[in-house]
Structure 1
Amino acid sequence: MADILDDGTLSFLPVRLNNQPVVMGGLTADEMWGTVALSGGSGFLLGIPAAAVIGNWALIMVGGLAGGVLGLTVASRILRRMKRGRPETWVYRQLQLNIALHFPTFSASRLITRSGAWTCRRSEAS
């Protein structure tokens, strides 16, 4: 019990207590549900024309379910590779940046989105 000091406190600082646990395929719960919602919605929308052509309206739900499963399988691999070695909040900051860049009227965040070279110059004092 080298981690417990004489006064009963811990000699180390636990750093991962407030982090979300990894639920499936390297994704946290929020990332997993977002992926399932987007891919399931896409499959649902793709199932509408397929159901109209074939004439079986159950294909709408099948498309949604298949899209959710396929999307979660593929997206978990892609997101896991993208997140490797980056901070915990990297995905959320990337989403925030993309919204700020592409939809500035809907963006409530105040991100600095200037691109270009920054210079630090001293002004000549008179």
Structure 2
Amino acid sequence: MTELFDDGTLMFLPDRLNSQPVIMGGLTADEMWTTLLLCSVTGLLAGIPAAILTQIWALIIAGAMVGGVLGLAIASRVLRRMKRGRPGTWLYRQMQLAIARHIPTWNSARLITRSGAWTCRRSEAP
């Protein structure tokens, strides 16, 4: 066995044991269900006016289904490209940062959202 040192320990350290598996198109289970929910609700809301205008009430459910399918197809490609080469928690940290920037009262992680130049100066002792 070339994977073991002489003392029986492993030569490599498995680093993906506790990460979520990729379920569909580069999305983990949480990302897939969130995408499906948001896109289905969007399709449902788009189907309501279409159903009212055409008097075909099945368009509400059809809109939700089409929205979910299209959303998963598009989001899986977009998110896969965005996440390529980045750590597994990158997407969640980006979402956390966006919330902290736009809704400061929800900044429970206490992220630093200041932008600008930083300076380091020595202060003179009194």
Q: Same fold (TM over 0.5)?
A: yes
Q: State the one-letter code of the partner of 1:103.
A: I
Q: Structure 2, unaligned stretches of length 5 or more?
A: none
| Equivalent-residue separation in structure 2 for 1:107 and 1:54 (angstroms) | 45
Q: What displacement does 1:49 show?
A: 0.7
Q: What displacement does 1:105 show?
A: 2.3
Q: Is 1:93 the counterpart of 2:97 in the alignment? A: no
Match of 2:64 in 1: 64
Q: Structure 1, unaligned stretches of length 5 or more?
A: none
Please tell me the root mean square deviation across aligned C-alpha atoms, in Å: 1.5
Q: Is 1:105 the counterpart of 2:100 in the alignment? A: no
| Equivalent-residue separation in structure 1 for 2:27 and 2:54 (angstroms) | 36
| Equivalent-residue separation in structure 2 for 1:9 and 1:42 (angstroms) | 52
Q: What displacement does 1:72 show?
A: 0.7
Q: State the one-letter code of the partner of 2:80.
A: R
Q: State the one-letter code of the partner of 2:121.
A: R
Q: State the one-letter code of the partner of 1:86.
A: R
TM-score normalised by L of structure 1: 0.91
User: How big is each residue's C-alpha offset from its partner over 1:51-94, in whole Å with a ceiling of 9 and x where there is no partner?
Assistant: 11111111111100100000111111111111112111111001
| Equivalent-residue separation in structure 1 for 2:52 and 2:109 (angstroms) | 42
| Equivalent-residue separation in structure 1 for 2:86 and 2:8 (angstroms) | 35
Match of 2:26 in 1: 26
TM-score normalised by L of structure 2: 0.91
State, as a whole percentage, how many aligned pairs show the same letter: 67
Q: State the one-letter code of the partner of 1:119.
A: T
Q: What displacement does 1:109 show?
A: 2.3
